[in-house]
Structure 1
Amino acid sequence: MEKDLKNIAKFYFLGIGGIGMSGLARYFKQTGKSVVGYDKTATEITAGLVSFGIDVNFADTVEAIPEGYTDPKETLVVYTPAIPKNSVQLNYFREGGFTLMKRAEVLGMVTRDTYCFAVAGTHGKTTTTSILAHLLKETGTPITAFLGGVSENFNSNFLMEGTDYTVVEADEFDRSFLHLSPDIACVTSMDADHLDIYGDKSALEASFREFTKRLKPGGKLFVKSGLPLEGITYGLEDESDYNIQDIQLSNSTYLFTVRTPVGIIQDVTFSKPGRHNLLNALAAFAMAAELGAPHSRLAEALATFKGIKRRFSYHINREDLVYIDDYAHHPSEIDAVCEAVRSAHPGKKVLAVFQPHLFSRTRDFADEFAESLSGFDALVMLEIYPARELPIPGVTADWLLEKVKLKDKRLLEKAALPEYLKQAEAEVILTIGAGDIGVEVERIKKVLNS
C-alpha cells in the first residue's frame, strides 16, 4: 500500500476543513501532489488551505468536484467519519469505484516508514504533541508534525522540517490510533469518553491497551503515573521515572526542577498555567529526551513554548479584566481549566461560558459536568452543539443547567452573549467548549475591549 500511496498523483479530501484533515492535505500538497477538497463551511482553516494553493469547494454536489478528479484510477479519496453517510460527493465516489480511505489509515501509511512519535489520551494530546513538535524543532530534529490544534509557535497545525521523524496525535475516536505504528508513544489519560463509540469505559481502556501493542519492536511507551499500563512513568512531585519537583507559580509562569533517570535540571520555566499543562510539558520533555536531545537545550525550548490556539488562550489580560478561551469539552478538562484559572488568578470572580458538545456526551456525563461547572463563580450555558448528532429527547442545555449548583447561572442564546458579558461583573471571563464557540471569540473580545 505504501508504494500505491507514493504513486498516487491526486488526493481529494472530504471534510478538508477538519483540523486533522487539513494537516494531511498540507502534507500531500507540500510533497508535490495535487490536492483539492470539500467542506461544509468556509473557516479560517479552509482560508489557510486556499492560501497554501489548495482549492476547496463548499457545495455537496457532483458538479463541484473539479474535472481532473473524476478518474478513479488517478485519485485517492480521503474522508473523515464526520462526513454524513448521505453526502452526495461521498456516495458519488463510492459508487464510482474510487478508493476511499479514512484519514487515520492514510496517516498510518504516511508515518509507517518514519521514526514516529505518537501521543494518545482522552485529554492532553494536542498540547503534548505541540510541545513535543516545538522541542524537537528547536533541537534540530528533521520532523513532520501533524497537530490537532494551531500552534502559536508555528501559526499552523502542520510543520514540515524533514521527513525522517513524524509527530502525530493518536486519536482514540473511532479507534483511529490503531492504524499507527509508533517508535515512541505516550498515554496521557484514559478517562471515559466517546461512549457513543465504545459503550463503556472498559472497552475504551481495552482499546488503549491495544494501542500500546502497536509499538514497533524496541519501542518505548510513556505513561502518566497512576494509569494501569506498563511503561516509563512521568508525574508531578512523586517517584515517577520523570518527575517535576519544587513547583512555584508567579505571573502565570511556572518555575520548577525536572528529575530524570540520569540527572536533575533546575530552574526550568514554562508559561502555560495549570498542573495538567505541567504534565503535558513533562511528557513531551521525556519523549524528546529519550531520543537523545540535550536536557539543557530542551529546558530552554520549554521556556519559549507559546501555546496552542483555544488551549487556555489569553485574549485580554489586564488587571481589571481577563478573558481566556479554551477547548475543554469533558468534565476532567473543565476541572483542569478551573484549577489553572484559580491558580493563575487567585481570589478573582470567574464567569464561565460553556457550550456543551454532543447530545450523547452531555447525557453520559451530565452529573459530572454539573459538578465541574459548579466550581466557577457564575455560569452562562449555551445550547448544545450537535456536531455529528441528532437531538436526544430530554437532553437539553436547560436540563443540564438545572443540575448545576450555582446561584448565578443562566441559559443564553449565542447571539446575546457579547452584550451580556459586557455588563457582567466578573473579573475573569472564560469561554469553553469544542463546538463553534471559538468563532465568537473575536466578537466577544471586541465588545469587552470597547
Structure 2
Amino acid sequence: MNLNQIHNVYFIGIGGIGMSALARYFKNIGKQVSGYDKTPTTLTKELIASGIAIHFEDSIDLIPKDYSVENTLVIITPAVPKTHSEWNYFVERDFYVKKRAEVLGIITKDTFCFAVAGTHGKTTTSSILGHILYESGADVTAFIGGIVENYNSNLIGDGKTVTVVEADEFDRSFLHLHPNIACITSMDADHLDIYGTSDAIEASFLEFAGKLEDKSKLFITKELPLEGVTVAVNEEAVYSAFNVRIEDGSYLFDIKTPKGILYDFRFGLPGKHNLMNALMAIAMAEIFGTPTVAIAVALASFKGVKRRFSYQIKREDLVYIDDYAHHPTEIDAVHQAVRELYPGKKVLAVFQPHLFSRTRDFADDFARSLSQFDELILMDIYPAREVPMEGITSEWLFDKIDNQQKEIVSKEGLIKAILKSNAQVIVTIGAGDIGEMVVSIKEALNENI
C-alpha cells in the first residue's frame, strides 16, 4: 500500500490516544480524515474542532459516500469488536483495513525511527525524546500516547524524515515497527489476557529487541535479560545519572556517558522512575548526535504529560495530582514520588482498576501497592474492551487491601467522598474514565476552600 495514493483516512475508534495522534498526523499531511468512536471525549472534541468529522453511532449510513476502495485507508483499534458493522462494511468491500500498529509500521519504514518499548514509561520517555529532538531542530514527528503539556497535543512536530513512536507490546503491536534506535524501559508481566504467561511477553520483547542488529543502538535497564547499552540511576552503567539532588522542586544531576561526564542537567518531573525515563531519552538523543547543550536546554523546559503525575492543584495546604498508573509497579512509582516530595503529609489515593483480567492477574500486587497510602477510595473496575468476569470485582480486591481508611465509592459519589477527606495530598490513579472526572474534582476541591 502506498500512502501517497491514499486521499481519505477513516478511523474506527478515532478517540483513542494513539489513534487520535495518527488522525492529527494524516490531517497535517493533507489527507481527508473522518471517523467513528463510541463516546464523545475531550480528545474527540479537539479533533472535531480541527475540522475532522466524527460520529458516535455505529452506522454504515454515516460513512462518507465518496470514500472509494482505491483511495481510502481504514484504521481500526483492537478495542473495537469484530461484530462492528462499519468494520465489516469495509472488510466486505475489500478496503485497505489496517491496525494502528500496522500503519505506524508503514510510516516508520521510510523514516529514521526511534522506538520506545516497555511495560511502563513509554509515553513519558517518548515525550521527552520527541521534545528534545524537536527543540534541537530535528525534522521529527513524534506519536505520543498522551497529551504533552508543552504542545497540548499527542503529536510533536510535523517532520518527514525522523519519527518517534511508542513501541506498544499490547497485541504484539511493536513487532510491526522498523526501529533504528530503540529502548526498553521494563518487561514486567502485563496484558496476560493477550499473552497468557510472563514468559510469552518476555519472548515478544526479545523478538522486538532482535529488530536491532546493532545492539549499540538498543538502550536497556540493567536487570533486563538482553544485550544492549545499559542505563541506570545511581548505579554503574554505560549511561548513569549520579550526584542526584533536588533543588527548587526539580532534579539536578550529572551523567556518566561513554564520551565523558555531563554536568548539571535539570529536570522537573518528580519520581525516580521519571528520572530514568529522562536518562533513556537523553542517551537515545545523544547517540543520534543531538548536541549536549540542546539536550540540556530542552530537558529543563519539558513540562510533562497530562495524566502522568500531572499537578491539578499545588497549594501550601492542598496538592492534587492525577496519574494514569494502572499497574502495581506504576502505582508504586507514584507512591515513591509523593512520599519523596511530601514527607509526613497524609495522602489519599483514589484508584479505578482498569480491566477485569488485569485486576485478576495482579490482585495481590494491587492490594500491596494500594495499602501503602494513608487513605484509599476504590472505584468500580473500568471494563474497557472486556466483559465482566465472575468473582472479579472491586469488592473482591477491596477485601485484600490492608488499609484502615478505605471505602468503595461509585462515580456518582466520588466527589463527595473526596471532599470528606482531610488528606493534604490527593492522587487520582487509573487508565479508565476517571481521567474525564479530573476537571470536576479539581473544581470541587477549589470551591471547598
Q: TM-score, normalised on structure 1? A: 0.97
1:236 is aligned with what amino acid? V
Asked if the contact 2:25/2:158 (under 8 Å) is kept, the reply is no
1:232 is the counterpart of 2:229: yes
Partners of 1:205 and 1:237 lie apart in 2 by 26
1:248 is the counterpart of 2:245: yes
1:66 is aligned with what amino acid? P
Identify if the C-alpha distance between structure 1 residues 47 and 219 changes in structure 2 by more than 3 Å, giving closer, same or farther: farther
Aligned-pair CA distance for 1:96: 2.1
Asked if the contact 2:221/2:231 (under 8 Å) is kept, the reply is yes
SS of equivalent to 1:233 = strand
Deviations 1:354-402 (A, max 9, x none): 0000000000000000000011111000000000000000000011011
Aligned length: 447
Partner of 2:362: 365
| Residue pairs, 1:216-231, within 5 angstroms | 220-231=217-228
Partner of 1:59: 57
Equivalent residue in structure 1 for 2:15, among 6, 9, 17: 17
Identify if the C-alpha distance between structure 1 residues 100 and 423 changes in structure 2 by more than 3 Å, giving closer, same or farther: same
1:204 is the counterpart of 2:201: yes
Of stretches 382-391 and 218-227 in structure 1, the one that deviates more from structure 2 is 218-227
Equivalent residue in structure 2 for 1:268, among 258, 265, 285: 265
1:5 is the counterpart of 2:3: yes
SS of equivalent to 1:353 = strand
Partner of 2:155: 158
Identity %: 58
Equivalent residue in structure 1 for 2:432, among 432, 435, 438: 435
Partner of 1:286: 283
Partner of 1:42: 40
Aligned-pair CA distance for 1:6: 1.8
Aligned-pair CA distance for 1:42: 1.1
Partners of 1:347 and 1:99 lie apart in 2 by 57
Deviations 1:131-159 (A, max 9, x none): 00011111111101100000001110012
Q: Which runs of 5+ in 2 are unaligned?
A: none
Asked if the contact 2:253/2:266 (under 8 Å) is kept, the reply is yes
Partners of 1:330 and 1:227 lie apart in 2 by 19
Partners of 2:329 and 2:230 lie apart in 1 by 21
Partners of 2:229 and 2:163 lie apart in 1 by 21
Asked if the contact 1:252/1:271 (under 8 Å) is kept, the reply is yes
2:374 is aligned with what amino acid? D
Partners of 1:325 and 1:368 lie apart in 2 by 21
Asked if the contact 1:128/1:284 (under 8 Å) is kept, the reply is yes
1:31 is the counterpart of 2:16: no
Aligned-pair CA distance for 1:342: 0.5
Partners of 1:246 and 1:50 lie apart in 2 by 47
SS of equivalent to 1:67 = coil
1:297 is aligned with what amino acid? A
Asked if the contact 2:116/2:183 (under 8 Å) is kept, the reply is yes
Partners of 1:145 and 1:45 lie apart in 2 by 17
Partner of 1:377: 374
Partner of 1:90: 87
Asked if the contact 1:13/1:21 (under 8 Å) is kept, the reply is yes
2:271 is aligned with what amino acid? G
Partners of 1:219 and 1:392 lie apart in 2 by 45
Asked if the contact 1:182/1:216 (under 8 Å) is kept, the reply is no
Q: CA RMSD in A?
A: 1.2
1:196 is aligned with what amino acid? D
Asked if the contact 1:251/1:344 (under 8 Å) is kept, the reply is no
Deviations 1:322-357 (A, max 9, x none): 000000000000000000110011110000000000
SS of equivalent to 1:36 = strand
Partner of 2:164: 167
Deviations 1:33-76 (A, max 9, x none): 1111111111111111112221111110111112112x222222
Aligned-pair CA distance for 1:235: 0.2
Deviations 1:180-200 (A, max 9, x none): 010000000000000000001
Aligned-pair CA distance for 1:296: 2.5
Partners of 1:218 and 1:437 lie apart in 2 by 40
Aligned-pair CA distance for 1:216: 6.3
Aligned-pair CA distance for 1:5: 2.1
Partners of 2:25 and 2:444 lie apart in 1 by 38
Partner of 1:181: 178
| Residue pairs, 1:69-108, within 5 angstroms | 69=67, 71-108=68-105
Aligned-pair CA distance for 1:217: 6.1
Partner of 2:126: 129
1:27 is aligned with what amino acid? Y
SS of equivalent to 1:425 = coil
Equivalent residue in structure 2 for 1:340, among 310, 323, 337: 337
Q: TM-score, normalised on structure 2? A: 0.98
Partners of 1:349 and 1:305 lie apart in 2 by 29
Partner of 2:386: 389
Of stretches 266-275 and 349-358 in structure 1, the one that deviates more from structure 2 is 266-275
2:151 is aligned with what amino acid? F
Q: Which runs of 5+ in 1 are unaligned?
A: none
SS of equivalent to 1:72 = coil
Asked if the contact 2:215/2:227 (under 8 Å) is kept, the reply is no
Aligned-pair CA distance for 1:163: 0.9
1:5 is aligned with what amino acid? L
SS of equivalent to 1:92 = helix
SS of equivalent to 2:179 = coil
